[in-house]
Chains A and B, each alone.
Chain A
Amino acid sequence: DAGVIQSPRHEVTEMGQEVTLRCKPISGHDYLFWYRQTMMRGLELLIYFNNNVPIDDSGMPEDRFSAKMPNASFSTLKIQPSEPRDSAVYFCASSLARAYNQPQHFGDGTRLSIL
């Protein structure tokens, strides 16, 4: 079975450029989460969706960050303009809420470096 697929795996870009991270959740999953991992702050939630609708975006750092889920099989996280402090590993995860407390399945992340 295909897991959560993220692209690109690595992204290096210059400060001020627009960055778009992509995620394909596991087919049939109805929850999608975006997390960010840094040495200083660990793993932190940015935003999550249920049935393509954003439920909680309180973790989005600032207006430079935006996320969309146009359909059940695709989500994007966009940073515009990017800054060096945005450098981190960004993870997408999905889960199925049909049964209580289904586990979240994580992709392998996008390692983002802003120069």
Chain B
Amino acid sequence: QQQVKQSPQSLIVQKGGISIINCAYENTAFDYFPWYQQFPGKGPALLIAIRPDVSEKKEGRFTISFNKSAKQFSLHIMDSQPGDSATYFCAASLQRRALTFGSGTRLQVQP
């Protein structure tokens, strides 16, 4: 599997602040880039996803920015809330094949 590199490993943000998580990929054939959110004791759940022909996608407080030439994409969480405290995984896949996940970012939003 091709690697997806994710940073930072952990992140502490104050309530109302912006959380930013970055990912970089190697395989230029990847055509689907989702972000998953995982709470303790639960499976990952899809948060938002983007295709490489789009540079940005926004859903509520969550935005993906995609830079195809740099092979990088990032998740921005605006107005971060304590309920957003979770582990976030970026991922990439080719067509309908399995996901290659980043290593995860543990986000803690302090009240």
* Contact surface of A with B, Cβ cutoff 8 Å: 4, 31, 33, 42-45, 48, 50, 55-56, 59, 91, 93, 95, 97, 100-109
Given A43-B44, A91-B43, A109-B43, A56-B97 contact (CB < 8 Å): yes
**Chain A residue nearest to B34 in the complex (CB):** A103
Task: Give complex CA distance A106, B44 in Å.
Answer: 6
The reply to whether the CB of B7 lies closer than 8 angstroms to some CB of chain A is no
DSSP class of A's interface residues: helix, strand, loop or mixed? strand
| Count of inter-chain pairs, beta carbons less than 8 A | 57
Question: Are B42 and A108 touching (Cβ within 8 A)?
Answer: yes
A44 touches B101 (CB 8 A): yes
Are B49 and A104 in contact, with the CB atoms below 8 A? no
Q: Which of A59, A102, A103, A106 contacts B43 (CB 8 A)?
A: A106
Tell whether, in the assembled complex, residue B103 and residue A42 are in contact, meaning their CB atoms are under 8 Å apart: yes
State whether the Cβ of B111 lies closer than 8 Å to any Cβ in chain A.
no
Least Cβ distance of A78 to chain B in Å? 20
Nearest A residue (CB) for B44 = A106
In chain B, positions 30-68 with a C-beta closer than 8 Å to chain A are 31-32, 34, 36, 41-46, 49, 51
B29 within 8 A of partner (CB)? no
